[in-house]
Amino acid sequence: SLKQLPLTIIVAATPKNGIGKNGALPWPMLKKEMAYFTRVTKRVPMPTNTGSVQSDAWKQTNLEGTRRNVVIMGRKTWDSIPPKFQPLKDRTSIVISSQDPAKLEAVPDDVVVASDILSGLQSLGQKVREGKALPVGRAFVIGGAKIYQAAMELPQTTSVLLTRIHKDYECDTFFSETLDDASSGWRRKSLEDLRAFVGEDVPEGPLTEGEGSDETSYEFQLYERS
Ligand code: FOL
């Protein structure tokens, strides 16, 4: 059942764990950071991994077209995605809303709307069994604050892909978990573990994007439940 599927949180956050401001990201567009989000959430692990090395275990483009990753988001995060990118290409979207789905405007019918994460996964599982959705690869929780918080309370949520933004942008929305405390139940994994997890060669140390006062550095990290 899809309710047992491991869930990965993917999030970018400032040093104070800020993730949003006025319904959008707090920082000016970080093109390479967003490109990482897109690649990682699209990439489907190969079903068969018989004795293969790590580099064989992934395909950038899901050539067979047999499986799709799922992105789970809250309704406000759905609204924050530019209409031209809705729904996120090559991924199955689950949108969490406490509103009656019938009352939600302009949600395409290949998007699953549900009142919580697990019932969303259950509905998608039913569509897969009916042949109305592609089998699921990985599942990513992409925000926002309320949905991250709900995901952190599920034992299925075993990994957090964090992009630590090294600049203190003003924020009104925060990622509520402190991953770095020894008592948090989460442990930072090595760069090697991160590379294996995402299936690409993540650079060591901070990357820099932006010009002048928009210049920002950031770092890709992986945390797992310990
Ligand atoms: N995680 C990380 N690491 N970075 C993020 O920016 C991020 N953003 C969200 C969740 N987790 C994240 C939620 N916000 C799009 C827009 C907002 C958004 C997530 C995705 C979006 O439009 N994505 C398109 C590409 C857009 C582009 O290339 O400009 C996509 O296809 O993924």
Q: Is the pLDDT of residue 16 over 60?
A: yes
**What is the rounded average pLDDT of the residues 188-194?**
98
The domain that contains 220 carries what CATH number? 3.40.430.10
Q: Report pLDDT for 62.
A: 47
Would the CB of 85 count as within 6 Å of ligand 1? yes
Could you tell me if 2 and 124 are in contact, meaning their C-beta atoms sit under 8 angstroms apart?
yes
Q: How far apart are the C-alpha atoms of 208 and 214, rounded to whole Å?
A: 10
Residue 189 lies in a domain: yes
Question: Which string of DSSP letters, residue by residue, matches 143-187?
Answer: --HHHHHHHHTSTTEEEEEEEEE-S----SEE----SSSGGGSEE
Residue 173 lies in a domain: yes
Helices 145-152, 117-129: inter-axial angle, 10-degree rounding:
80
Residue 146 lies in a domain: yes
Residue 50 lies in a domain: no
Would the CB of 95 count as within 6 Å of ligand 1? no
Residue 162 lies in a domain: yes
> How much distance in Å is there from the Cα of 24 to the middle of ligand 1?
10
Number of domains in the chain: 1
Residue 53 lies in a domain: no
Residue 21 lies in a domain: yes
Dump pLDDT digits (tens) for 82-105.
Answer: 999 999 999 999 999 998 876 777
Q: Is the pLDDT of residue 2 over 60?
A: yes
Give the number of the atom of ligand 1 that is nearest the alpha carbon of residue 29. Answer: 29
Dump pLDDT digits (tens) for 117-128.
Answer: 999 999 999 999
Give the number of the atom of ligand 1 that is nearest the alpha carbon of residue 143. Answer: 10
Instruction: Give the CA diameter of the chain.
Output: 53
Residue 220 lies in a domain: yes
> How much distance in Å is there from the Cα of 34 to the middle of ligand 1?
5
Which residue segment(s) compose the domain that 75 sits in? 2-44+59-225
Mutate to test the pocket of ligand 1, among 8, 34, 95, 140 (most ligand atoms within 8 A of CB): 34
On average, the pLDDT of the chain sits at: 92
